[in-house]
Amino acid sequence: MSGSVGESPADFAQAARELAQARGVVPTLRAVVDNAVSMLNCDWAAVAATEHLGTHPAKFSATNNDTIAEVVAAVAADARDSPGISAYRTGRVVVCNDLTTDARFGQYAAELTARTPIRSVLSVPLRMNDTSLGVLSCYARRPGAFNDTAVADAGVLAVHAVVAVAAAQDELRADNLEIGLLSARTTGTAVGILMERYKLTSQDAFTLLSKSSQNLNRPLAMLAAELVETGTFVGLGGLTP
């Protein structure tokens, strides 16, 4: 494992390129995890991108070991606190270099050492403009894994991660907005077809489309798209305008 002697600027430049080349939030998070494991003094890593971090799973996450991550998440949920939760909420780096003696996270530390080989934890908040975007946590088998150099390297990696994750989230929001606008236009066109065909008001036409969605147990957007494309949909003829 590297990290004890510090990573070079070239290493971080390569990490930044890998993060920038990832497409999508989850692929970006996977790249963050891969770089954390290769650059920092850790055996496992997990990263979450979420607006709220607590006992429920984060909306987007990645790890290099699902089994370890599931246990850590369950322990943190039971204890309602962990280095990761603390780092996310306070915006400060949290280092636990010996879970068997660290008194700050009693229940969490006791359960984690009993159920996993983890002995050291380093959690770094992912923040942009004082807003928490997520948290990166690194785990090691041995106590004392995260010295000052490893902590500093984790902070630099977190800066690159924040930029990449924020960009991926912005791209996702733009894609969702485009999909939403397309769906709205399709629904509007379908309503227009029903208005013309059955001489309905716009409200009555939309009500008919909604009723059809419920009766046929099919998404409204799917029915609207089918009506626009084919001029009808299965079951329309049997519905009363």
Asked which of 138, 168, 198 is the last residue of a domain, the reply is 168
Same domain? For 159 and 218 the reply is: no
What tens-digit pLDDT sequence spans the chain (241 residues)?
444 456 677 787 788 788 878 778 888 899 999 999 999 989 999 999 888 776 667 778 999 999 999 999 999 999 999 999 999 999 999 999 999 999 999 999 999 999 999 999 999 999 988 888 899 999 999 999 999 999 999 999 998 888 888 887 777 667 666 667 678 788 888 888 888 888 888 888 888 888 888 888 888 888 888 888 888 887 776 666 6
Same domain? For 122 and 42 the reply is: yes
| CATH code of the domain covering residue 102 | 3.30.450.40
Within a domain: 153: yes
Within a domain: 2: no
Within a domain: 37: yes
User: Based on the number of CB atoms within 10 Å of its own CB, is 142 exposed (0-12), middle (13-18) or buried (19 or more)?
Assistant: middle
Within a domain: 3: no
Same domain? For 31 and 83 the reply is: yes
Same domain? For 53 and 100 the reply is: yes
pLDDT of residue 229: 84
Does the predicted TM-score (pTM) go above 0.75? no
Please give the tally of structural domains in the chain.
Answer: 2
Same domain? For 196 and 159 the reply is: no
Residues 6+ apart with CB under 8 A from 165: 25, 28, 29, 32, 49, 126, 133, 134
For the chain, what percentages of helix, strand and coil (3-state, to nearest 5) are there? 60, 15, 30
Tokens 């992912």: give the residue: 126
| CATH code of the domain covering residue 183 | 1.10.10
Same domain? For 218 and 113 the reply is: no
Within a domain: 83: yes
Same domain? For 123 and 232 the reply is: no
Within a domain: 72: yes
Count H helices and E strands in the chain, helices first.
Answer: 8, 5
Task: Determine the structural domain holding residue 203 and report its residue range.
Answer: 174-238
Asked which of 137, 168, 199 is the last residue of a domain, the reply is 168
pLDDT of residue 141: 97
Within a domain: 109: yes
Same domain? For 67 and 131 the reply is: yes
